[in-house]
Amino acid sequence: MTETRVGLGFDLHRLVEGRPCILGGITLPHDKGPQGHSDGDAVLHALTDALLGAAGLDDLGTLFPDTDERWKGADSATLLGAAMERLREARWTVNNADIVIATEGPKIAPHRAAMRARMAELMGTDVERVNVKGKSLEGLGALAGGTGVAVQAIVSLERL
């Protein structure tokens, strides 16, 4: 019997000047970047929470608190890698991940392919199993004008 699970993740970061714009594990050419303790990569944070949620584990902030020396200032790719290690220990493999990035900051479309490749690499899965799309906010709400980035991620896991 194959067991299948789904998990949902969400994250939100302000975009501020003087920060590199690291999203989905890559650096985008943009004059603002996500504010945060580490690199502020809201895409990897949402994805990691979705993976942990599907596996029935605690969330990102609980498992890898930045008050712990091991995780203080750790980059988000390292945290995703640590989450993947937990999943592998429990024999989970990634069926697929799908991600929506809502922002009026950096353009997402030109960087979709690179983000997909990087996240597939970090999860040890095929690129066709990882999808990303950018959504404009139509000038509405608190994130209008590129003040922030909101991310939803959904994943499906499987184990035999």
Where along the sequence are the contacts to Mg ion (CB under 5 A)? Answer: 11, 45
**Cα(58)–Cα(62) distance, rounded to whole angstroms?**
6
- Measured from the CB of residue 22, what is the shortest distance to Mg ion in angstroms? 12
Which of 9/134 has CB closer to Mg ion? 9
Alpha helices in 18-75, H assignment, sequence order: 42-54, 60-63
Which of 45/118 has CB closer to Mg ion? 45
Residue 103's closest CA among 12, 24, 31? Answer: 12
Residue 125's closest CA among 156, 86, 90? Answer: 156
Which of 24/129 has CB closer to Mg ion? 24
The CA-based angle 149-116-17, given to 5 degrees, is 30
- Measured from the CB of residue 77, what is the shortest distance to Mg ion in angstroms? 13
Give the DSSP H/E element, type plus range, for residue 80. Answer: helix 76-89
- Measured from the CB of residue 89, what is the shortest distance to Mg ion in angstroms? 24
Q: Nearest to Mg ion by Cβ — which residue?
A: 45
- Measured from the CB of residue 70, what is the shortest distance to Mg ion in angstroms? 18
Which of 45/129 has CB closer to Mg ion? 45
